Amino acid sequence: MKEATHILATDLDGTLVGDRKGLDELLEFYKNQQYEVSLVYITGRHYQSALSLIEEESLPVPDVLITDVGTEIHIGASLEKDRDWEKMMLEHWQPEAIDELAVSFEGINKQDLPVTNRCSYYAEDIGTVEAFEQRLVSAEIPHKLIYSGGVDLDILPAGSGKGAALEYILEKFNARDAKLLVAGDSGNDKEMLTLGFPSVIVGNAQSELLESPESPMIFRASKACAGGIQEAWTHFYPE
């Protein structure tokens, strides 16, 4: 992917995946272009779950796979873990302390995930989420909090997130000048959609994204999932 000329950086569930016909048409569209489109998948799924989805949906193997809401990065044909990113993520990470605080809150329930690079919970009350964050701040625990879909609460290492991981990849591969499209459908995509790159909120996006401020760099697609991605690609890159 080094010095790629065209890049699609996309969430998976509800964005690239979710409409088989639209996905097939998007992949065919890219295949027929005179240029190669490098693929960066950016998902809230953990690594093994993302691999399963890629296989189930017969997705192209990406050049970069960013998982766990931007806390883990895998690169290249063999999707090797990026150790530099991993080192940065672990530097001040305190998952045990975060879990200890979480259990004292009614309404915050741990998600059963096979990962330690993020702390994920279910929480349906925004007031409880805000109180939990105050406790994290008071305890001086470095973190990033992302709340999406009115239920999914992720506490991530400070400096992580989908947007931060994407910027790291663009810098690593000297790809900041590439023609890039960022695509998403939910609250945990907001950071990467607002980096200032050409971006698309797909037509089936959650209300938390649809209610965000208008921007000339954020295209609001009428079509759902991959169909919305193709719609936005031809809007930004009509050649």
Backbone angles phi, psi at 193, to 5 degrees: -75, -20
CATH of domain 92-156: 3.90.1070.10
Question: 38 with 63: CB under 8 angstroms?
Answer: yes
Matching fold, domains 6-88+160-236 and 92-156: no
Instruction: Name the CA dihedral angle for 208, 209, 213, 218, rounded to a multiple of 10 degrees.
Output: 180
For residue 137, give every residue at least 6 positions away whose Cβ sits within 8 Å of its Cβ, in sequence order, or none: none
Q: CA dist 140 to 89, 92, 109, 121, 129, Å?
A: 17, 11, 22, 20, 17
Per-residue confidence of the chain (239 residues) as pLDDT tens digits? Answer: 777 899 999 999 999 999 999 999 999 999 999 999 999 999 999 999 999 999 999 999 999 999 999 999 999 999 999 999 999 999 999 999 999 999 999 999 999 989 889 999 999 999 999 999 999 999 999 999 999 888 999 999 999 999 999 999 999 999 999 999 999 999 899 999 999 999 999 999 998 898 888 999 999 999 999 999 999 999 999 97
- Contact between residue 195 and residue 168 where contact means Cβ atoms under 8 Å apart: no
Where does 6-88+160-236 sit in CATH, by number? 3.40.50.1000
- List the chain domain ranges: 6-88+160-236, 92-156
Q: 224: helix, coil or strand?
A: coil
